[in-house]
Structures are given as C-alpha cells and as structure tokens.
Homo-oligomer: A and B are copies of this chain.
C-alpha cells in the first residue's frame, strides 16, 4: 500500500492575540534582539499514512480541519508527500 508523509501546520488566526508568541517575542527583545516583530507560535504536526492517494488526501483534509485544529480560532494548512517504496 502506498505510504505518505503528511505535515500539518496550525497557527492561531492573525486577528487573534497569540499570548505564547507575545511572551517569546518579549523575551527575545529583552535579550537584545530588537529587530524582530510579529512572532507567532503554532503547531507543526507530522504523521505517516498509508492507503490510496485520493482517499488519504480526503482523510488528511478531514483530520486537519476537524481534529487537529479549531476552525474558529486557528488557520490550518497541510501537505502530503508520497514516500518511495522501500
């Protein structure tokens, strides 16, 4: 069965305050890194899936938008990459 590597990226929407990102940015500025702004922290999720490509794509879209992210507060994007058979 074909194998795939999926990567899902979840970020808090730009219109919503990201307290973790704000905290990291403040810390970096206190350490002397004044030339940075708009730091945001999101999730990077990797998983391996097996199955037929069309089905796996559909399944990944469903997982990414309903389980791995909250569509009210977060933006989600994902990529699927076919792995070479070993």
Return chain B residues, CB-CB under 8 Å to A9. Answer: 44
Q: Give A33 to B63 CA distance when docked, in angstroms.
A: 9
Asked if A11 lies at the interface with its beta carbon under 8 angstroms from chain B, I say: yes
Asked if A46 lies at the interface with its beta carbon under 8 angstroms from chain B, I say: yes
Knowing A28-B63, A63-B28 touch, does A47 contact B43 (C-beta < 8 A)?
Answer: no
From residue A13, how far is it (CB to closest CB) to chain B in Å? Answer: 13
Main secondary structure of the interface of A (DSSP, over half): strand
Contact A43 B43 (CB under 8 A): yes
Contact B68 A24 (CB under 8 A): yes
From residue A81, how far is it (CB to closest CB) to chain B in Å? Answer: 14
Within the complex, which residue of B33, B44, B48 is in contact with A11, where a contact is CB–CB below 8 Å?
A: B44
